[in-house]
Chains A and B, each alone.
Chain A
Amino acid sequence: GAGVSQSPSNKVTEKGKDVELRCDPISGHTALYWYRQRLGQGLEFLIYFQGNSAPDKSGLPSDRFSAERTGESVSTLTIQRTQQEDSAVYLCASSRTVMNTEAFFGQGTRLTVV
């Protein structure tokens, strides 16, 4: 695609429910990154994929968070048993390779847990 696409744009969910956030990277980009941005904060790294493998998942805050990538394309970030502190904007980025210094970002998913 022309850019990184994320869906949904906004998601409101009840505490305790599971949510799935989707990221479609730029076609041909092998590296994909997930970040979390809490209100008024900078971006926090969550996990990155090289192809379908996740060499670094050190930023995932708890075992309620998981992510997968298939076909070296779409990635899904899943949050189980959501808590209010999970409310944030979740941003996805992709780059041609992990060595390439320019990462292209999507517009994010704003998650609100009520």
Chain B
Amino acid sequence: AQTVTQSQPEMSVQEAETVTLSCTYDTSESDYYLFWYKQPPSRQMILVIRQEAYKQQNATENRFSVNFQKAAKSFSLKISDSQLGDAAMYFCAYRRGGATNKLIFGTGTLLAVQP
């Protein structure tokens, strides 16, 4: 069975600084996708960034980028130039390829941004 592990329950960063959130996963599949979701207090899950396992290039979305290490099964999220609005719960998620969009989530990292 696939599992997703986030070992940092809480993180803190100063505004304008850079922070990295860690995620490891376990799977025997070769075709899969990895995601980072942001959950603010409104509870709505917002997709931050997505990585296809077959792509070697790390995904980037503005201030958000990932470090995808397929052999190590590691998928960390880097937030550059942190902003107060980045404060939220961040979840790493896995989805195998094929006809399903079922996501397997980690337990989350609560990110605080200090002014």
| Chains A and B form a bound pair | yes
Interface assignment of B75: CB less than 8 Å from any CB of chain A: no
Given the complex, which residues of B lie within 8 Å of A102, measured CB to CB? 47, 50
Given the complex, which residues of A lie within 8 Å of B95, measured CB to CB? 101
Chain B CB within 10 Å, residue with most, of A43, A89, A106: A43
Interface assignment of A93: CB less than 8 Å from any CB of chain B: yes
Interface assignment of B25: CB less than 8 Å from any CB of chain A: no
- Is the pair A48, B100 in contact by a Cβ cutoff of 8 Å? yes
B-side binding surface: helix, strand, loop or mixed? Answer: loop
Given the complex, which residues of A lie within 8 Å of B108, measured CB to CB? 41-42
A residues 29-44 near B (Cβ < 8 Å) are 31, 33, 35, 40-44
Given the complex, which residues of B lie within 8 Å of A41, measured CB to CB? 107-108
Chain B interface size, under 10 / 10 to 19 / 20 to 34 / 35 or more: 20 to 34
Known: A41-B107, A42-B106, A45-B104. A99 touches B99 (CB 8 A): yes
Interface assignment of B28: CB less than 8 Å from any CB of chain A: no
Known: A42-B105, A43-B91. A56 touches B44 (CB 8 A): no
Give Cα distance in the complex from A31 to B102, angstroms.
10
Given the complex, which residues of B lie within 8 Å of A33, measured CB to CB? 101-103
Give the B-binding residues of A (Cβ under 8 A). 31, 33, 35, 40-45, 48, 50, 55-56, 89, 91, 93, 95, 98-103, 105-108, 110
A-B contact pairs, 17 of them (CB 8 A): A33-B103, A35-B103, A40-B107, A41-B108, A42-B6, A43-B91, A43-B105, A45-B102, A45-B103, A48-B102, A95-B101, A101-B50, A102-B47, A103-B101, A105-B45, A105-B46, A108-B44
Known: A42-B91, A45-B102, A100-B101. 18 other contacts (CB 8 A): A33-B102, A42-B4, A43-B91, A43-B103, A44-B105, A48-B100, A48-B101, A56-B102, A91-B43, A99-B99, A101-B33, A101-B50, A102-B47, A105-B44, A105-B45, A105-B46, A106-B44, A110-B43
